[in-house]
Amino acid sequence: MMSKRKSMSYKAIIVKRDDPGTDKDKSDLQIRELKELAEAAGYDVVSELTQTRYPDRKFHLGRGKVEELAQMVFHFSPDKIIFHNPLNTMQVYNISEICRCETIDKFQLILEIFATRATTHRSKLQVELARLEYELPRARAVISILKKDERPGFMGLGGYEDSYAQDIKNRINRIKDELETIQKDNRSLRAMRHSLGFSLVSLAGYTNAGKSTLFNSLVDEDVEAMDMLFTTLLPTTRSLTINGRQVLVTDTVGFIEDLPHWMIDAFRSTLDEIFLADIVLLVVDSSQPVEQIKEKLLVCHETMWDQLQDVSIITVFNKSDLLQEDELQQCINYLGYLSPNPVAVSALKGSGFDKLKTKIYNELPEWERISLSLPMSEEGMSILAWLFDEGIVHDVEYDEKIYIEFEAREKIINKAISIINKFY
Amino acid sequence: MFDIIAVDISGRHRTNDEYIMVCAAVSASVTADNIEKTNQIAIRSFRSISAPDVTDVINMVETTVAELKFGGTIVTEAGDMYNKPQRIIDSIFYQDFKYQESLGERRCIELAHHVSLAARKFLLKELGLQ
């Protein structure tokens, strides 16, 4: 779909309104991000328009600016006008009427990207849920506008405004039920992974921070990693062994600024991978200016807050090869108050991975360590084989008995002790 | 570790024709994702006939913080200062001030929120207003 779009070169004009007194650098960053989002959705951005003023109730921008926008539409003939700011239904209608071009806002654009890339049943449901939750508060207004269009008694139903909203609500409930079932399956899968002794590590971070590249390098995998926003929409899990401990690493969808709550709710089953992990690797792109990294870290902290359980966080300063060592150290020091357990890596060059793995190992849930002795028999040897499977055997001495130095989670230790007690 | 003073005010709504507010200030050492040590907590109550504006809120915060023996940057939620830009609020405060950013700061404000809420409930009970 996307390549088709590119080949057909869909065009878009991006628009942003700033409140007076807005930081210019931040505003520039936001418009650049909107441009990248539009490109990720397959649009060719032909022009940009910004205005600094408080929002207009009718057009969001000033009336004159909308007329200027209409002229730009006439000149460039874009397929869509994309606003950075959230628009209400009346504003979308009014702007579309004057400009004669389809108008969407940033959230609809994100939904469009998600819809384009949704491949599994679960992700399709999530996109549909997010779309419906976006549509629900606008449903009544949409019908009112349709009725205004000289269509009294639309569909022949007097209470159509309400029934349409009710229909959306019913569809939302149906999808939520279905997603809840999937979520339960995932929870039990996660519980099973825990009971099998795996620790769960999740990659989190702002979109395009390099999570997938890091994931590929860490677990020697080949998931799609591109220099584009929202390349990953579905979590992928692979196992990794660190000093004998098996961990499951999950690559997840990235965060973005102003992600509304309804969208977080819709993608909850995806985001749960982050919120219910034992360790979160918070990935940041250290090649960017410090202030940008700070802004993105703030978004990550805000998104993770509320949902995050008691987990350890390791901040991974990715793309460290693009900076001098002293620059990198300065950046890490400056952002110390926002970056727990910082470690610098280059996912592309493969540097810093030993440090990262040591940090992960140190943060893993603690295992107990005991000394055991087993009879030198066939049964004893089979228990030893089981211990090798379930934990880390640090030392084995074969004498009259088998002496073992063993480390494992509490459940396995208790089981091993009860088995050994049967021999004596 | 960073020394902060997390502040939260409960009761900024009308109760029996007046505003009975409790401000809690928690002095703590925090890391980026956790509270490492809580040094001291100060609680003060305030009553007012009219709704508090930004300067009233700043006065309440400064009065409560003055009772602490430990220093640090004052941290609040943006909503507590009516979402005014940080630079404006910072220029009014005598001490360093910022809005919450890291998870550690948020956890500390959550703690201050629980303290102020519980203290206010207790106060209303004592006053026979609940």
**CATH code assigned at A298:** 3.40.50.300
Q: A60-110: per-residue pLDDT in tens?
A: 999 999 999 999 999 999 999 999 998 888 888 889 888 888 899 888 888
Q: In this predicted structure, what is the pLDDT of residue B105?
A: 94
Size of chain B in residues: 130
Q: Please check whether residues A7 and A104 belong to one and the same domain.
A: yes
Q: What is the pLDDT of residue A261?
A: 63
> Cα–Cα distance between A213 and A218 in angstroms, integer?
9
Same domain, A254 and A383: no
Q: Would the pLDDT of A5 be above 50? A: no
Residue A299's pLDDT is what?
A: 87
Residues A391, A326 within the same domain: no
Token pair of A3, please?
Answer: 């390549």
- Residue A147 clears pLDDT 80, i.e. is over it: no
- A321 with A291, same domain? yes
A309 touches chain B (CB under 8 A): no
For residue A336, list chain B residues with Cβ-Cβ distance below 8 A.
32
Q: Which residue has the higher pLDDT, A358 or A154?
A: A358
Instruction: State which residue of chain B sits closest to A337, comparing Cα positions.
Output: B32
A312: closest chain B residue by CA: B33
Confidence of residue A206 (pLDDT cuts 50, 70, 90): confident
Say what the pLDDT of residue A424 is: 67
Strand partners, A225: none
The residue of chain A with its CA nearest to that of B2 is A337
Kindly state whether residue A186 falls inside one of the protein's structural domains: no
Check whether A155 has a pLDDT greater than 60: no
Read off the pLDDT of residues A351-384 as tens digits, 9 standing for 90 and up: 888 999 999 988 888 888 888 888 888 888 888 8
Chain-chain contact of A313 with B101 (C-beta, under 8 angstroms): no
Question: Within an 8 Å CB–CB cutoff, is residue A301 touching chain B?
Answer: yes
Question: Which position has the higher pLDDT, A313 or A114?
Answer: A313
Question: What is the reported pLDDT for A161?
Answer: 61
Please tell me whether residues A156 and A276 are part of one structural domain: no
Please indicate, yes or no, whether residues A231 and A273 belong to a single structural domain of this protein: yes
pLDDT digits (tens, 9 = 90+) for B20-76: 999 999 999 999 989 999 999 999 999 999 999 999 999 999 999 999 999 899 999
Domain membership flag for residue A191: no
Q: What is the pLDDT of residues A409-423, one digit of tens each?
A: 888 888 888 888 877
Task: For residues A244 and A371, give the distance between their C-alpha atoms in angstroms, rounded to a whole number.
Answer: 18
> Are A201 and A341 found together in one domain?
yes
Q: Give percent above pLDDT 90 in chain B.
A: 81
CA distance B116 to B24: 5
Residues sharing a CB contact under 8 Å with residue A382, sequence separation 6 or more, in sequence order: none
Per-residue pLDDT band for A198 (boundaries 50, 70, 90) equals confident
**b (16+ CB within 10 A) / e for A311-345:** bbbbbbbbbbbebeeeebeebbeebbbbbbbbbbb
**CA–CA distance from A152 to each of A89, A97, A156, A187 (Å)?**
20, 20, 8, 50
Count CB atoms within 10 A of the CB of residue A400.
8
Are residue A139 and residue A218 in the same domain, yes or no?
no
Q: Look at residue B48 in the predicted model and tell me its pLDDT.
A: 92
Task: Find, in chain B, the residue whose alpha carbon is nearest to that of A342.
Answer: B32
Decide if pLDDT at A237 tops 80: yes
Residue A159: C-alpha distances to residues A153, A154, A203 (Å): 9, 10, 48
Is the pLDDT reported for residue A20 higher than 90? Answer: no
Confidence bin at A146 (pLDDT 50/70/90): low
ipTM of the complex in this document:
0.83
- The answer to whether residue A152 neighbours chain B at the CB level (below 8 Å) is no
CB A114 within 8 A of CB A123: yes
Amino acid at B36: E
pLDDT of A7 above 60: no
Q: Is the pLDDT of residue A262 over 80?
A: no
User: Which pLDDT value is given to residue A71?
Assistant: 93
Same domain, A64 and A211: no
For residue A358, the enclosing domain spans 197-363
- Structure confidence at residue A160 (pLDDT): 60
Chain B CB contacts of A313 under 8 Å are 32-33, 103
Instruction: State whether residue A54 sits within 8 Å of chain B by CB.
Output: no
Give me A293's structure tokens. 């990294």
The better pLDDT of the pair B51, A141 is held by B51
Answer whether residue A46 is part of any domain: yes
Q: Which of the residue ranges A38-47, A152-161, B60-69, B105-114 would you say has the lowest mean pLDDT?
A: A152-161
Q: What is the pLDDT of residue B78?
A: 92
pLDDT at A269: 65
- Inter-chain contact A340–B101, Cβ cutoff 8 Å? no
A91 touches chain B (CB under 8 A): no
Which domain-ending residue is among A363, A384, A409?
Answer: A363
Residue by residue, DSSP assigns B18-46 as: EEEEEEEEEEEEE-SSSEEEEEEEEEEEE
Question: Sheet of A342-344: strands edge to edge?
Answer: A236-242, A245-251, A199-205, A279-285, A312-318, A342-344
Whole-number Å distance between alpha carbons of B8 and B24: 6
Q: Do A125 and A235 lie in a common domain?
A: no
Whether the pLDDT of residue A305 is over 60: the answer is yes
Contact (Cβ atoms closer than 8 angstroms) between residue B25 and residue B65: yes
Report how far residue A225's alpha carbon sits from residue A247's, in angstroms, rounded to the nearest whole number. 22
Quote the pLDDT of residue A157.
45
Answer whether residue A149 shows pLDDT above 70. Answer: no
Confidence of residue A2 (pLDDT cuts 50, 70, 90): very low
Contact A132, A168 (CB under 8 A): yes
Cβ B32–A336 below 8 Å, yes or no? yes
Please indicate, yes or no, whether residues A373 and A357 belong to a single structural domain of this protein.
no
Give the three-state DSSP class for A346: strand
Confidence band for A225, pLDDT divided at 50, 70 and 90: confident
Domains within chain B, CATH numbers bracketed: 2-126 (3.30.420.10)
In a domain, A385, yes or no: yes
Centre a 10 Å sphere on the Cβ of residue B55 and count the other Cβ atoms it contains.
9
Residue A30 lies in a domain: yes
Pick the more confident residue, A365 or A317.
A317
Question: Stretch A319-333: mean pLDDT, rounded?
Answer: 89
Q: Which CATH number does the domain housing residue A35 bear?
A: 3.40.50.11060
Query: What is the predicted pLDDT for the residue at A295?
Result: 87
The answer to whether the CB atoms of A308 and B103 lie below 8 A apart is yes
- What DSSP character marks residue A83? E
Q: Which range, A180-194, A228-242, A325-339, has the best average confidence (pLDDT)?
A: A325-339
Mean pLDDT, chain A, integer: 83
| Identity of the residue numbered A122 | R
* Count of the separate structural domains present in chain A: 4
**With 80 as the cut, is the pLDDT of residue A285 above it?**
yes
Residues of B with CB under 8 A from a CB of A: 2, 31-34, 85, 101-104, 106
Q: Are residues A305 and A387 in the same domain?
A: no
